[in-house]
Amino acid sequence: MPFPSRSRRWGLRALALIVSSLMLVPAPPVIAAGRTRTVQVGQVSIAYRIVGHGRPLLLLQGSGAAMDVWDPLMVAELAEDRRVIVFDYRGVGGSSDEPDTPMTIDLLAKDTAGLMRKLDLSRADVLGWSLGGFVAQRLAQLYPARVRRLVLVSTDAGGGRAVLATPEIRELDARVTLGQATIEEILSLLFPSDRLEAGRAWLERYFSQPDCCESVPYETGVRQLESIDAWYSGPGAWDGLEQMAQPTLVLRGSQDINVPPKNGRAIAERIPDAKLITFNDAGHGLPMQEPILIAAVIGAFLDS
């Protein structure tokens, strides 16, 4: 288990205690996913699940992924003392779509805010990973009263400031989003070459979930890629980062080939008082590579 290096003066002693305690106790059992429900949000039906009780935490996943991509171990740990909400973006899994409506990051943020309204969540903690981090940033900017605390994982702020992956990696990411990549290619995108066993362990947990697995239609993947292209060709979230008042935690893996780790530092330095933690020997799939440790670090931040 790699120890997260400190990129700012935040919680080093607390993190050391977290890691030490995790080494002394077995991993918690994987709990069954909450029952899938649907709710009408504008013109689309959104599928969602809720696990646990307490203060709400909304999880926003990456492109080409449905809500069951979240590691059951991480969800189980987070749900021990909070209400974890996962959902499918429009056109994904059990959610419907409007194919004639251009998909944008702002539209996905609007859907998220609409889901929160329908679930009577006046305010929630929000965790966004990869593309979900794009959506989380815009949600915090467009609907600031909705976001209590923000966690951004393996993501960037878009626009011309973002540091892009190599053309080869971006092409692989597109194939993963479109469902055209092999399992080994998916693992190579998410995990460092010397941590593939952690990736295979995540896959075993992923496929063992009840009613797994939801699909992402090719057409939805294309629309998500169009939203990502617009994220980089447009302003992204960069211009609004300095005005964000939500306490923010930025997590990055030092070996992330899909969203280069320089992006995490740029976001953390731009958002006032944001905290940055770098996990050594971790890749883009940080929440799946170290699910128990990540959940503990996130929980400590949300409870601080």
> Could you list the pLDDT tens digit for every one of the 304 residues in the chain?
332 333 333 333 333 334 333 434 344 444 445 789 999 999 999 999 999 999 999 999 999 999 999 999 999 999 999 999 999 999 999 999 999 999 999 999 999 999 999 999 999 999 999 999 999 999 999 999 999 999 999 999 999 999 999 999 999 999 999 999 999 999 999 999 999 999 999 999 999 998 788 999 999 999 999 999 999 999 999 999 999 999 999 999 999 999 999 999 999 999 999 999 999 999 999 999 999 999 999 999 999 9
SS3 3: coil
Continuous segment of H or E residues that includes residue 5: strand 4-6
How do residues 250-298 score in pLDDT, each as one tens digit?
A: 999 999 999 999 999 999 999 999 999 999 999 999 999 999 999 999 9
List CB contacts of 232: < 8 A, sequence separation 6 or more.
158, 159, 160, 162, 164
Residue 33 pLDDT: 57
Contacts of 31 (CB under 8 A, 6+ apart): 51, 72, 75, 76, 79
Q: Which domain holds residue 86?
A: 4-303
Contact 191, 290 (CB under 8 A): no
Rounded Cα distance, 193 and 188, in Å: 7
Q: Which residue has the tokens 């926003």?
A: 60
Report how many domains make up the chain: 1
CB 132 within 8 Å of CB 108: no
pTM of the predicted model as reported, rounded to 2 decimal places: 0.90
Cβ pair 276, 264 in contact under 8 A: yes
Paired with 56 in beta bridges are 83
Tell me what pLDDT residue 211 has.
79
Reference 289, options 298, 280, 277; nearest CA is 280
The CATH number given to whatever domain includes residue 257 is 3.40.50.1820
Task: Dig out the tokens for 172 from the structure.
Answer: 């692989």
